[in-house]
Amino acid sequence: MSHSRSSHKQAKKRKRRKGIIAFLVLFFLLAVGYSGYEYLLGKHRSLSRQASAAEDAPYVESAKSIYQDTFKGKDNGDDQWMVLLLGIDQRGAETSRTDTIMLAQYDRTTKSTKIASLMRDLYVDIPGHGFNKLNAAFAIGGPELLRETIEKNFQIEPEYYSIVDFNGFSQIVDILSPDGLEIDVEKDMQYVSGDETTNINLKEGVQTLNGEELLGYVRFRSDARGDFGRVERQQKVLSLLKDEILSFQGVLKTPRLIGSIQPYIDTNISSDKVLQAGKDALMGSIEDMDMLSIPTDDNVWNERKNYPVGLVLNHDRPKTAATLHQFFGTQIKKPDVR
């Protein structure tokens, strides 16, 4: 009799276990189906939006990064990923310029992110081209020359790069926060570019801004603070977007977000790396994000150079290098810059 009861209990356990496994499999299939649908929907909308954009500068999607073969950054094998983040006006243009230059370090061990914003007018030694503004390195030789410039001046070696068209930034905002993102605009901001492609018109005070308006907010520099104010706004918005992405609703929107911004991103970061970071985000372990602006207030002065360089932000390069390494928790392996 006892043997019969034991067999009956074991049968029930096996049945229950099979039921749990079946539920998990079903849940997994539903999750994959949902993610795939959202990803394709987001990508379709982005490509449709591009197709209806100006015909004089279309973006042709490529399965491969256009800079991947020339970028020589190498993964050093540790759990710290150093990424060169760039924001550009127009992907695919022959002379695209970068308004946003950042070094982002993600540490998988501590699950922390550190972002250093490098101002585009920073005066640096560009290998093979002499001294000029930092963003000139990208205009001359793309992300590889910019990587070489950062390595030569600061002994920081970016392993990866990610170039984001500003239109992709607008889509990120609109997907994560369809009703807009609340921002305390510190002053009235008005600016119209010469070709009228950029039109910023924001009023002082707490505002709820959509993607296009928020893009204008982070790009505005037509005041006494110039790039210093713009970098502060970029970092403030990055912090807000991080909170949106790590929220429950943000996690659900991740597949559509990835699909939507993929056509606007050129990167050599592998899908494996993206999945690893995504796993950390889904597990709720990415929370800390420290930020730094270079040059720092105690190590910068305005200086005018001969044409065509013009007004630059000059600085003590060894001191700047030491500040960056202290921030990232790394060591200078090469002799100090001269």
Q: Name the pLDDT band for 6 (thresholds 50, 70, 90).
A: low
What pLDDT, in 10s, does the model give residues 85-94? 998 865 444 4
In angstroms, the CA 55 to CA 200 distance is 23
Beta bridge partners of 305: 310
Give the chain's mean pLDDT.
Answer: 78
Which of 142, 124, 178, 176 shows the shortest CA–CA distance to 294?
A: 124
pLDDT-derived band at 309, boundaries 50, 70, 90: very high
* Average pLDDT of the residues in 20-38: 41
Candidate from 24-33, 109-118, 166-175, 304-313 with smallest mean pLDDT: 24-33
Q: Residue 81 burial (CB < 10 Å; 0-12/13-18/19+)?
A: buried
Q: Where are the alpha helices (DSSP H) in the chain?
A: 2-51, 134-154, 166-176, 211-219, 226-245, 248-252, 254-261, 271-282, 317-328
**Sorting pLDDT into bands at 50, 70 and 90, what band is 253?**
low
- Contact (Cβ atoms closer than 8 angstroms) between residue 328 and residue 155: no
Domain-by-domain residue ranges, the chain?
Answer: 80-175+211-328
SS3 338: coil
Q: Per-residue pLDDT tens for 126-146?
A: 999 999 999 999 999 999 999
Q: Minimal CA–CA distance to 171: which of 103, 65, 51, 256?
A: 256
> Which of 257-261, 306-310, 318-322 has the lowest average pLDDT?
257-261
Q: What is the pLDDT of residues 255-288, one digit of tens each?
A: 666 666 777 788 888 766 766 666 665 555 555 6
If you search the block for the tokens 């037509």, which residue do you land on?
222
How much is the average pLDDT of 220-246? 85
Helical H segments across 155-265, by residue range:
166-176, 211-219, 226-245, 248-252, 254-261
pLDDT band at 34 (very low <50, low <70, confident <90, very high): very low
Is 217 within 8 Å of 189 (Cβ atoms)? yes
Condensed to tens digits (0 to 9), the pLDDT of residues 144-160 reads 999 999 999 999 999 99
Q: Identify the DSSP state of 122.
A: B
Q: pLDDT tens for residues 108-128?
A: 888 788 999 999 999 999 999
Measure CA 149 to chain center.
20
**b/e map 262-299, b = 16+ CB within 10 Å:** bbbebbbbeeebeeebbeebeeeebeebebbbbbeeeb
pLDDT of residue 238: 85
Is residue 227 very low, low, confident or very high in pLDDT (cuts 50, 70, 90)? confident
pLDDT of amino acid 169 = 82
Does residue 48 have a pLDDT over 70? no
- What the block records as the tokens of 81 is 């990923």
Contact between residue 72 and residue 142 where contact means Cβ atoms under 8 Å apart: no
Q: Which residues contact 95 (CB under 8 A, 6 or more apart)?
A: 139
Q: What is the CATH number of domain 80-175+211-328?
A: 3.40.630.190
